[in-house]
Amino acid sequence: MNKKTLFVILIFLVFPLFDRNQYHLDVLVNAGIYAILVLGLNVMTGYCGLLNLGYAAFFAAGAYTYALLNLNWGWSFWICLPACAVCAGALGLLFGSCALRLRGDYLAVVTLGFGEITRVALNNLDPLTGGPNGLTVAHPVLGFAGRGLDFGINSLPYYYLTLAVIVAVAMITFRLSLSRLGRAWIAIKEDEVAAACMGINTGKLKLSAFSIGCAIAGVAGWLFAGKQGFVSPESFDFVTSVMIAAMLVLGGMGSIPGAIAGAAALTIIPELLQPLQQYRMFLFGGVMIVMMLFRPQGLFGGRRILEEFKHQPERVRQEEDEVLSEDLRQ
Distance, C-alpha 312 to centroid of its chain: 26
Q: Report the distance separating Cα 88 and Cα 54, nearest Å.
A: 13
Q: Quote the pLDDT of residue 104.
A: 83
In order of 9, 68, 215, 216, the CA distances from 210 in angstroms are: 28, 24, 9, 10
Distance, in Å, from the CA atom of 44 to the CA atom of 183, rounded to the nearest integer, reads: 13
The answer to whether residues 111 and 103 touch, using CB atoms and an 8 Å cutoff, is no
pLDDT for residue 317: 52
- In this prediction, residues 151-163 reach a mean pLDDT of 89
The answer to whether residues 59 and 283 touch, using CB atoms and an 8 Å cutoff, is no
* Count of CA atoms in the C-beta half-sphere (13 A) of 193: 0
**Least confident segment among 119-123, 142-146, 180-184:** 142-146
For the chain, the residue count is: 330
Provide the CA 237 distance to its chain's centre, in angstroms. Answer: 16
Residue 162 confidence (pLDDT): 95
Bigger pLDDT: 322 or 297?
A: 297
Mean pLDDT lowest among 85-99, 110-124, 150-164, 231-245: 150-164
User: Sign (positive/negative) of CA torsion 166, 169, 175, 53?
Assistant: negative
In terms of C-beta density within 10 A (0-12 exposed, 13-18 middle, 19 or more buried), how is residue 211 classed?
buried
Write down the pLDDT at residue 273: 79
Distances 72 to 69, 112, 137, 254 between C-alpha atoms, Å: 5, 30, 10, 39
Residue type, 87: C
Per CATH, which fold does 20-263+296-329 belong to?
ABC transporter involved in vitamin B12 uptake, BtuC (1.10.3470)
The answer to whether 250 touches 266, Cβ cutoff 8 Å, is: yes
pLDDT band of 222, cuts 50, 70, 90:
very high
Check whether 223 has a pLDDT greater than 90: yes
> Do residues 227 and 62 make contact, with C-beta atoms less than 8 angstroms apart?
no
- % residues pLDDT > 90 (the chain): 52
Separation CA 7–CA 124 (nearest Å): 47
Q: Which of 27-31, 159-163, 267-271 has the lowest mean pLDDT?
A: 267-271
Query: Quick one: average pLDDT of 108-135?
Result: 92
C-alpha span between 319 and 244 (Å, rounded): 37
State residue 147's pLDDT score: 62
Q: Report the distance separating Cα 185 and Cα 191, nearest Å.
A: 10
> What integer pLDDT is reported at residue 269 of this predicted model?
85
Q: Torsions phi, psi of 138, nearest 5?
A: -80, 145
Q: Which residues partner with 142 through β-bridges?
A: 149
36 with 216: CB under 8 angstroms? yes
d(CA 228, CA 233): 13
Q: What is the per-residue DSSP string for 312-329?
A: S-HHHHHHHHHHHHHHHH
Quick: pLDDT tens for 168-202.
999 999 999 988 999 999 999 988 889 888 888 99
pLDDT per position as a tens digit, 76-113: 899 999 999 999 999 999 999 999 888 888 999 999 99
pLDDT confidence of residue 155: 87
DSSP state of 140: P
Tell me the pLDDT of the chain averaged across its residues. Answer: 86
CB count in 10 Å sphere of residue 16: 16
- Phi/psi class of residue 67: alpha, beta or left (left: φ > 0; alpha: ψ in -120 to 50)? alpha
Q: What pLDDT, in 10s, does the model give residues 34-92?
A: 999 999 999 999 999 999 999 999 999 999 999 999 999 989 899 999 999 999 999 99
What amino acid occupies position 37? L
